Amino acid sequence: MSKERIGRARQILKDAKLDGLLVTNIINVRYLSGFTGTEGTLLIGPRSATFFTDSRYTIQAGEQIEGASVVTFNDKFGAIAKKAAKLNVKKLGFEGDEVTVNFRKSLGRALKGIKLAPLAGQVSDLRLNKDLDEIAALKAVIEVSEKAFKKTLRKIVPGAVEIEVARFMEIEQIKLGAIGTSFDTIVASGPRGALPHGVASNGKIKDKELVVFDWGAIMNGYNSDQTMTVPVGKVGGLAKKIYEIVYEAQQRAIEACKPGITGKELDLVARKVIEDAGYGKYFGHGLGHGVGMEIHEGPRASRLYLRKLEAGQVVTIEPGIYLPGKFGVRLEDMILITETGYERLTTLDKRWKGR
């Protein structure tokens, strides 16, 4: 597994004419090496790979690292420099999006005479297309998050405190095997639902309101992300009308998912439904994002993402309409792009269930 992934990373060396690649983003390090700790750096050469960590992780690294030799350091930059010299590295690529100014300075000081080449997102892009193990991990974490949500549904009643509902759901996820949440759970009722990222508050859920519920779990290094908008008690009228528009926008966009469509085109499918209904200005965010080892990663379904989606990529489809002072509606699913179209990974039924 890791050998295959490190092999793909070596393509970056070739493409960018490098003789070394330094991977510092800890999630990319985990993806490439299997290491789950918090201090780890990978140096990938044309024929070798070296993993650097400190003494806290010597044993763990020995057990987890595949496809790279392990070096335990006291002085990180010194250790990297020593190895780079041994490998006769002349031009070293590093993750330009991931390092701090001070890291870059220290690296330059230690690696005198070696040209440092900042890369854009090439290393993270290795994680764009998920393999079967990753898809299985995503399905497993989604299952946990959905089971927890089903238990939580009966807590979404008039008088319930948003934050208590959120914590109940988070604990249910942990009981089912998650190690935590992907982000602060959003339980936003009534007018608070019009804040697209209003986290759960001390406020109480009222009768005849919509509750926007956006949550995710982390398990085995993979995240889930889903949004339901739940009607409490008798809700109809404008709320139902807006819900149906969002649902239609979401369905159209899901059905448009296939290899070759760009993120921009996908965004426009949903946006057009909402604009045609007259609510375009109340849908202010992009349609969706990739989910995997990070809760927000590539690809994107947004007007700014001009690349084509490919089989194996996972993207959320999450249109919303937010009416300030009134309420909000958002529906979100995780969609896997397949060779022939798409597979909906999240399974909760999002049809209107108000009375």
The footprint of Zn ion (CB under 5 A) covers 214, 225, 227, 316, 332
Query: Least distance in Å: CB of 332 to Zn ion?
Result: 5
Can you list the positions of beta strands (E) in 209-326?
Answer: 209-215, 217-219, 222-223, 226-232, 288-290, 297-301, 314-317, 320-323
Closer residue to Zn ion, CB minimum distance, 33 or 223: 223
Q: Which of 230, 194, 192 is nearest to 351 (CA)?
A: 230
Joined together, the tokens standing for residue 257 give 């998912």
Q: By the 8 A CB rule, do 151 and 174 touch?
A: no
* Residue 252 Cβ vs Zn ion, minimum distance, rounded to whole Å: 18
CB of 241 to Zn ion, least distance (A): 23
The DSSP-derived string for 44-59 is: E-SS-EEEEE-GGGHH
Is residue 31 within 8 A of residue 9, CB to CB? The reply is no
Q: Which tokens hold the place of 60? A: 């763990």
Q: How far is the CB of 143 from Zn ion (least distance, A)?
A: 17
178 neighbors 145 (Cβ within 8 angstroms): yes
CA angle 65, 69, 75 (to 5 degrees): 100
DSSP 341: S
Quick one: 34 or 216, whose CB is closer to Zn ion?
216
What pairs with residue 148 in β-bridges? none
Token pair, residue 82, equals 């020593």
Q: In whole angstroms, how close is the CB of 105 to Zn ion at the nearest point?
A: 36
Dihedral sign for Cα 251, 142, 191, 353, please: positive
Interatomic CA distance for residues 30 and 105, integer angstroms:
25
Q: Which is nearer to Zn ion, 196 or 280 (CB)?
A: 196
Return the H-helix or E-strand segment holding 320. Answer: strand 320-323
In terms of CB distance, is 134 or 214 closer to Zn ion? 214
Q: 68 or 188: whose CB is closer to Zn ion?
A: 188
CB of 71 to Zn ion, least distance (A): 38
What does the alpha-carbon distance between residue 115 and residue 243 come to, in Å, rounded to a whole number?
55
Sheet architecture: strand order including 209-215: 186-189, 209-215, 226-232
In this structure, what token pair is assigned to residue 315? Answer: 């993207």
CB 160 to Zn ion: min, Å: 21
| Cβ-based neighbour number of residue 26 at 10 Å | 17
Look at residues 71, 67, 226 and name the one whose alpha carbon lies nearest to residue 150.
Answer: 226
Largest CA-CA distance found in the chain, in angstroms, rounded: 72
Shortest distance in whole angstroms from residue 99 CB to Zn ion: 27
- Name which of 83 and 127 has its Cβ closer to Zn ion: 127
Could you tell me the smallest distance in angstroms from the CB atom of residue 22 to Zn ion? Answer: 31
Q: Which CB, 64 or 316, lies closer to Zn ion?
A: 316
Nearer CB in complex with Zn ion: 242/295: 295
CB of 318 to Zn ion, least distance (A): 5
Closer residue to Zn ion in complex, CB, 50/229: 229
Q: Of 215 and 282, which has the nearer Cβ to Zn ion?
A: 215
The residue behind tokens 């440092």 is: 116
